[in-house]
Amino acid sequence: MKDLIYKTINPPNLVKDWLGKTIKTKREMSNGCYIISEGTIMLIDNSGPVVGLTGADKCPSCDVKPIISIKGDKEYKLMFFEFIEITGWANVSDDIPGANSEIKEYKPINPPKLISDWVNKPVISKKEIKNYFITIPAGTLMQIYAGAGKTVSVIAEKCPICGIQKRAEIKGTREEKLAYIDFINKEYEKKYESYKFKKY
């Protein structure tokens, strides 16, 4: 596995000249499928009133090549990223850590009776959860960050390679939702207390 060596450069004066340039995100950004971490290296694949960003490569760990768009004037867009020039590569390790904890043994607990009380609770995916073009594998440690009525939203831990946090919606009745997730007990939660989730 290799890591980038780069330097920050000034952006081209005209937005139309941004096309094909390499950037590094300056803040966290999100769409309906995932959260893109600050410091992610991306390419500009569309320049104009809407700037399109795409991941330089598909992550070898979580299998995601992020895409996102930013609307607004030039100054607003530059709040989200800076232009960089890649000057080399550094060898880091040949190991590719897994994107998610592959959890095979855990002690589920009874979920709260009200779905509204599920918010901020840690859960484990019991089977694959698909959301448009991403998949959250079975055995993934997640947190419920929104829930009301027929839909609950979950967010996975960060990928250790690219920093992406996959998220998805689980729809259906209470029983249909619980077919996808198990709530975990406090003892297990403490074991993984190093994982920090943001509330959205």
CATH number at residue 112: 2.30.30.40
Question: Quick check: is 53 in a domain?
Answer: yes
**Could you say which of 91, 124, 151 is where a domain stops?**
91
Question: Quick check: is 87 in a domain?
Answer: yes
Query: What confidence score (pLDDT) does residue 132 get?
Result: 78
More confident residue, 200 or 39: 39
Query: Angle CA(91)–CA(39)–CA(193) in degrees, nearest 5?
Result: 90
Q: For residue 102, what are its two tokens?
A: 């592959």
Question: Quick check: is 96 in a domain?
Answer: no
Q: Which residue has the tokens 């080399």?
A: 88
Q: Which residues pair with 186 in a beta bridge?
A: none
Total domains, the chain: 2
* Whether 87 and 126 share a structural domain: no
**Parallel/antiparallel/unpaired status of strands 67-71 and 50-55:** antiparallel
pLDDT at 188 over 50: no
pLDDT at 56 over 70: yes
Arithmetic mean of pLDDT over the chain = 82
Question: For residues 152 and 177, is the Cβ–Cβ distance under 8 A?
Answer: yes
Question: For residues 37 and 170, is the Cβ–Cβ distance under 8 A?
Answer: no
* Whether 58 and 22 share a structural domain: yes
Percent of the chain with pLDDT over 90: 44
Q: Which domain holds residue 178?
A: 108-191
Question: Quick check: is 162 in a domain?
Answer: yes
Query: What confidence score (pLDDT) does residue 116 get?
Result: 87
pLDDT at 5 over 60: yes
**Could you say which of 61, 91, 121 is where a domain stops?**
91
* Whether 130 and 187 share a structural domain: yes
Confidence of residue 105 (pLDDT cuts 50, 70, 90): low
**Could you say which of 38, 59, 91 is where a domain stops?**
91
